[in-house]
Amino acid sequence: MNKQIDIQLSANRKEKPSFSSLKFGKTYTDHMFIMDYSRENGWHDPRIVPYQPITLDPAATIFHYGQTVFEGLKAYISENEEVFLFRPDENIKRLNRSSVRMCIPEVEEELALEALKKLVSIDRDWIPNQEGMSLYIRPFIISTEANLDVTPSQTYKFMIIMSPVGSFYKEGMSPVKIAVESEYVRAVRGGTGNAKTAGNYAGAMIVQEIANAEGYSQVLWLDGKENKYIEEVGSMNVFFKINGEVVTPGLSGSILEGITRKSVIELLQHWGVPVSERKISIEELYDAHQNGQLEEAFGSGTAAVISPIGELSWKNEKMVINDGKTGELTMKVYKALTGIQTGKEEDPFGWRVKVD
Amino acid sequence: MNKQIDIQLSANRKEKPSFSSLKFGKTYTDHMFIMDYSRENGWHDPRIVPYQPITLDPAATIFHYGQTVFEGLKAYISENEEVFLFRPDENIKRLNRSSVRMCIPEVEEELALEALKKLVSIDRDWIPNQEGMSLYIRPFIISTEANLDVTPSQTYKFMIIMSPVGSFYKEGMSPVKIAVESEYVRAVRGGTGNAKTAGNYAGAMIVQEIANAEGYSQVLWLDGKENKYIEEVGSMNVFFKINGEVVTPGLSGSILEGITRKSVIELLQHWGVPVSERKISIEELYDAHQNGQLEEAFGSGTAAVISPIGELSWKNEKMVINDGKTGELTMKVYKALTGIQTGKEEDPFGWRVKVD
Ligand SMILES: Cc1ncc(COP(=O)(O)O)c(C=O)c1O
Ligand SMILES: Cc1ncc(COP(=O)(O)O)c(C=O)c1O
């Protein structure tokens, strides 16, 4: 079986959009990576081809039973034009963990990393070089067998597409308002919450729509069993600075193991800031706020990197945090992470991976 | 906007398979229905075309965030060649309820029913006319907008495909062995369990695989909050006859509102058999079994219609029900339902819908 990445370059390069007016995830680069899986041949025929539509049987199981996993990471370009990926090995490992949960065959880590690097390198002039911008990379796997029986597909496609994204913080970093959800549930232990798979996001859309309509930018989920413990935000993990200590919900099995989350924890430990991963109930958070001990709150995720939380609304209570302003530690974490990502700062942890 | 169903017949009809050797959901008929949705035009251009692949952008949200709903129903042919659908209006209503949960625009009930009837009528020679066989019909909606932002798609496709299916009971009705799952969870209240959407099925595959490997044909799910109350089987609702009374889990919000379930309840009420929809814990069931009061158990769903349960395994306990044989009431329900579906019996409830 061919395991060399075959490259077929596009004859018609697209015109690049104005990077400063980019909307998230609407513009795609010139090329994409694709690789097929069959029971007989395993993963085979890895190739980079011009970005193009895909054709599937209407009975392909992806359309009916949603057997799919995905990842999200970014490529950054430094001031001296070096291109970096941030901890891509972690994304590939998480992709494989998600795949195990969803009965999808794992991909070879080395090959996947090579594919990421090659694709980014070929489309490197799509990486916006302005402050805060980057190239968003979306690896994903879909089940493709035409079969209405509810059983794992015998064939799959692994693809990588890329999209240049503008800055999350065009007008400077401004804290968001988040609604604590106490009716709908995103995931429950024993379910698929810790896999990065479509169904988790589809189910959350209605709640996100309601929150948006009420003026909140995101939803903070509580656990599915007791509706009590804090889990995570739409596509971010959460951190709270309470009385000098940083607290983040532990990996309960129902939240995503964020790579930004992991990096924040490692960074805080490195700095000697007390940080603990544990259960934290919404009541505990509310009490901390009432006592004036809830000092800062922020979300962590690939898209925004760090997103300060200025207000949490829970039932009829509004908790304004740090006067609705970005906290000092929040800003320090943001600067440190983006500094490492974009090559502005030293990388003591070896998180950057250079693309030639 | 065009709301008339346009019909484009296939020039090359496929060869029909031998109906007696059919596997579920692997063979498709000559035609399919398709209709598009856009924000500006709503649902438009309904059409019946030759069965064919569909082409989508790799960034289509269906591949990433799984915004999709589906339905399953059957067409039967009677001894005197009349073609019937079973309660198709219920499927269309449920499709729309699922769509509301998944932020998908609802379809017009009348148009959807007309599409079902027209498509079945055009491919009516694909309906196997042997005992126990039928034509399985799969309406489904997928989100098609190319957009990596997690937000409801602005465009969708509603499609109907059909597949002839052999008899579930080739060697006569034989009770199945089912494993009660006490670790993994299918759905939780506040989640998507009562919507017929891909993610519920993708998440269950791993459990189904484990159960199959251990010799069980299906999994019986417990509730996600307390891991205690009986919910449903993979693609069936469940009924237990306990000391003369038939009990089925109530519609808690996390199980699918089965149309066969509803029909069974109405049938039992019509016969004067006591039936109640309520919470039933696995302990209660176990005690009833120990006391000799668990008389019969069966699953209900479109695929099998009625499937007798001969054994339930829960942790280290095995509950053999009715000596592993099909119960009397189970058989009576099966005969009554299939009699109505296939036109063999009177239809006092008006459940059959004739296709011209
Ligand atoms: C549900 C969810 N939680 C958390 C995260 C943050 O993870 P990461 O830091 O790896 O981007 C994401 C986004 O990737 C997500 O989708
Ligand atoms: C999860 C689930 N429960 C129950 C059922 C039974 O529903 P119905 O009787 O409408 O086929 C199905 C199948 O359709 C199902 O997928």
Proportion of chain B above pLDDT 90, given as a percent: 92
- A266 and A349 in contact (C-beta within 8 Å)? yes
Q: How far apart are CA A280 and CA A278, in angstroms?
A: 6
Q: Are residues A217 and A253 in the same domain?
A: yes
Q: Are residues A183 and A153 in the same domain?
A: no
Q: Are residues A130 and A225 in the same domain?
A: no
Domain end point (choices B108, B140, B165): B165
- Length of chain B as a residue count: 356
Tell me: the pLDDT tens digits for A151-163?
Answer: 999 999 999 999 9
| Residue A232 scores a pLDDT above 70 | yes
**Token duo for residue B194:** 């009562």
Residue B140 lies in a domain: yes
Q: How far apart are CA B166 and CA B176, in angstroms?
A: 18
DSSP A180-193: EPSS--S--TTSST
* Among candidate residues B197, B207, B194, B252, the one with its CA nearest the CA of residue A201: B197
A192-213: burial string, b at 16+ Cβ within 10 Å, e else: bbbbbbbbbbbbbbbbbeebee
- B169 pLDDT band, cuts 50/70/90, is confident
In order of A137, A273, A335, B305, the CA distances from A91 in angstroms are 11, 26, 22, 44
Q: Are residues A187 and A85 in the same domain?
A: no
* Among candidate residues B39, B3, B35, the one with its CA nearest the CA of residue B155: B39
Residue B353 lies in a domain: no
Ligand 1 centroid distance, CA of A89 (Å): 15
Proportion of chain B above pLDDT 70, given as a percent: 99
Q: How far apart are CA A241 and CA A233, in angstroms?
A: 16
B173 versus A198: which is more confidently predicted?
A198
| B5-9, B63-67, B166-170, B282-286: segment of lowest average pLDDT | B166-170
Q: Using the 8-state DSSP alphabet, how is residue B127 labeled? A: S
Q: How far apart are CA B162 and CA B166, in angstroms?
A: 13
* Among candidate residues A309, A299, A193, the one with its CA nearest the CA of residue A236: A299
Give the residue, out of B235, B267, B306, with the most ligand 2 atoms within 8 A of its beta carbon, to mutate for a pocket test: B235
Q: Which residues of B touch A57 (CB under 8 A)?
A: 53
Decide if A202 and B205 are in contact by the 8 Å CB cutoff: no
| Residue B115 scores a pLDDT above 80 | yes
* Among candidate residues B115, B120, B106, the one with its CA nearest the CA of residue B33: B115
Instruction: Using DSSP, state whether A36 is helix, strand or coil.
Output: strand
Q: At what angle do helices A88-101 and A259-271 cross, to 10 degrees?
A: 130
Per-residue pLDDT, A172: 74
| Residue A95 scores a pLDDT above 60 | yes
**Token duo for residue B300:** 């209900």
**Token duo for residue A158:** 């692994």
Q: How far apart are CA B64 and CA A139, in angstroms?
A: 10
Burial of A167 (0-12, 13-18, 19+ CB in 10 A): middle
Which residues 93-112 in chain A show a CB within 8 A of chain B? Answer: 101-103
Residue B23 lies in a domain: yes
The number of folded domains in chain A is 2
Instruction: Using DSSP, state whether B247 is helix, strand or coil.
Output: strand
Main-chain dihedrals φ then ψ at residue A91, nearest 5 degrees: -65, -40
Per-residue pLDDT, A2: 59
CB neighbour list of residue B213: distance below 8 Å, 6 or more residues apart:
none
**Token duo for residue B184:** 């993994």
- B235 and B196 in contact (C-beta within 8 Å)? no
Host domain of residue B14 = 6-165
In order of B50, B137, B159, the CA distances from B32 in angstroms are 6, 10, 7
Q: Is the pTM of this model over 0.90?
A: yes
Tell me: the pLDDT tens digits for A157-213?
Answer: 999 999 999 877 766 789 999 999 999 999 999 999 999 999 999 999 999 999 999
Q: In three state form, how does the secondary structure of A206-255 look?
A: HHHHHHHHCCCCEEEEECCCCCCEEEEECCEEEEEEECCEEEECCCCCCC
Residue B350 lies in a domain: no
- B22 pLDDT band, cuts 50/70/90, is confident
Q: How far apart are CA B310 and CA B68, in angstroms?
A: 34
Q: Are residues A18 and A121 in the same domain?
A: yes
Q: Are residues B94 and B155 in the same domain?
A: yes
Instruction: Using DSSP, state whether B282 is helix, strand or coil.
Output: helix
Instruction: For residue B229, give the amino acid letter.
Output: Y
Q: Are residues B265 and B338 in the same domain?
A: yes
CB atoms within 10 A of CB B350: 8
Domain CATH for B213: 3.20.10.10
Q: Are residues A19 and A136 in the same domain?
A: yes
Which residues 50-79 in chain B show a CB within 8 A of chain A? Answer: 51-59, 62-68, 70
Q: Are residues A149 and A191 in the same domain?
A: no
Q: Are residues A159 and A120 in the same domain?
A: yes
Mean pLDDT of A41-56: 98
CB atoms within 10 A of CB A26: 16
- B1 pLDDT band, cuts 50/70/90, is low
Q: How far apart are CA B288 and CA B268, in angstroms?
A: 21
Tell me: the pLDDT tens digits for B294-342?
Answer: 999 999 999 999 999 999 999 999 999 999 999 999 999 999 999 999 9
Residue A347 lies in a domain: no
Domain end point (choices A165, A199, A230): A165
| Residue B225 scores a pLDDT above 80 | yes
Q: Which residues of B touch A185 (CB under 8 A)?
A: 188-191
Q: How far apart are CA A300 and CA B277, in angstroms?
A: 44
Q: Positive or negative CA dihedral for A92, A93, A97, A98?
A: negative
Per-residue pLDDT, B209: 96
Residue A21 lies in a domain: yes
Q: Are residues A208 and A130 in the same domain?
A: no
- B3 pLDDT band, cuts 50/70/90, is confident
Decide if B66 and A66 are in contact by the 8 Å CB cutoff: yes
Q: Are residues B204 and B121 in the same domain?
A: no
Radius of gyration of chain A (CA): 21
Domain end point (choices B165, B188, B216): B165
Tell me: the pLDDT tens digits for A258-305?
Answer: 999 999 999 999 999 999 999 999 999 999 999 999 999 999 999 999
Domain CATH for A31: 3.30.470.10
Residue A182 lies in a domain: yes
Task: Give the one of A147, A190, A235 whose C-beta lies nearest to B25's C-beta.
Answer: A147
Residue B355 lies in a domain: no
Tell me: the pLDDT tens digits for B51-106?
Answer: 999 999 999 999 999 999 999 999 999 999 999 999 999 999 999 999 999 999 99
